Structure 1
């Protein structure tokens, strides 16, 4: 059975990420972000959202764990920042229901919801510059980088929260990530 751990970066929806995976039949566990990657045996990792970069613990170390990684909101931002991209304050600010344009119908994470989807996202902070090796896979009127992918390294990120009910096709994002983990 596929096992995916959710690294808890103290976000308000983290428990819903674990539940979404469990509801798909995945063996899943919520782990503290101070847990060393060497202590974790999993086929994939979700880096949860959270309040700020000062509380990400050992999350960056999971980028070298040689398993697919999905960063959600703050999780995507820490991927970008750790790998040479940039994160800054968003112009829009807080949570909003946003229409996201999916840019690559062949992207393994977001392609199945092409050409657009409605999502629930916070834009207090956002990726402002992609790290080397990443492709822009989604954007919106309020955020230039709504999703990014590095398929060579199986590193993916979404600014929005696929785990909440307000995101129309959030389950599809988790299903796609499970498929990525099963074929990696």
Structure 2
């Protein structure tokens, strides 16, 4: 089992790899300009980052036919590439947020139901889901905190499961491992 982390120049990217290693998962952090044909992993985490314009080849990774977990910017890249919309959040910077789990059957975050406390940035956020995606989490400050497209194994969370401020972040990575198996 190997899950690689795609580096989108986010400040917490190193913590995503560490969270996976702590669960005993083989992982490597790879540059977001890595050609898709060079990726040999059972799953990918698209990390957070400062700017969708610097997301490299992340859009091409959606066609690799392996599970993808987009975190913050990573989720926004998935939405943007597949026809959803991304825009500025009204709230802005980092905050402690309570996310309501909308779908307790969701393989990524359903186990966190009915709600979970997370650390999230809302500088930008997904405003409209791409076709085929389901809303799986929402909050008072953001209508789309999490989304899933189970048939394609594409998942996204607006928050950072890799940071200590997020209560059940480890469970998100454990659930993603199960999806990748």
Match of 2:170 in 1: 171
Q: What is the Cα deviation at residue 54 of structure 1?
A: 1.0
State whether structure 2 residue 13 is matched by structure 1 residue 14.
yes
CA distance in 2, matches of 1:125, 1:56: 14
State whether structure 2 residue 40 is matched by structure 1 residue 26.
no
Q: What is the Cα deviation at residue 95 of structure 1?
A: 0.2
State whether structure 2 residue 160 is matched by structure 1 residue 161.
yes
CA distance in 2, matches of 1:118, 1:101: 9
CA distance in 2, matches of 1:36, 1:74: 20
2:33 aligned counterpart, secondary structure? coil
CA distance in 2, matches of 1:36, 1:119: 33
Q: What is the Cα deviation at residue 37 of structure 1?
A: 1.3
CA distance in 2, matches of 1:92, 1:63: 29
CA distance in 2, matches of 1:58, 1:84: 17
- What TM-score does the superposition give when structure 2 sets the normalisation length? 1.00
After TM superposition, the structure 1 = structure 2 runs for residues 100-119 of structure 1, keeping only pairs within 5 Å, are 100-119=99-118
Q: What is the Cα deviation at residue 40 of structure 1?
A: 1.1
CA distance in 2, matches of 1:168, 1:121: 12
Q: What is the Cα deviation at residue 56 of structure 1?
A: 0.5
Deviations 1:32-77 (A, max 9, x none): 0000110011000000000001101111111000000000000000
* Stretches (4+) displaced over 3 A: none
2:131 aligned counterpart, secondary structure? coil
Q: 5+ residue gaps in structure 1?
A: none
- What TM-score does the superposition give when structure 1 sets the normalisation length? 0.98
Aligned residues: 181
Q: CA RMSD in A?
A: 0.4
State whether structure 2 residue 92 is matched by structure 1 residue 93.
yes
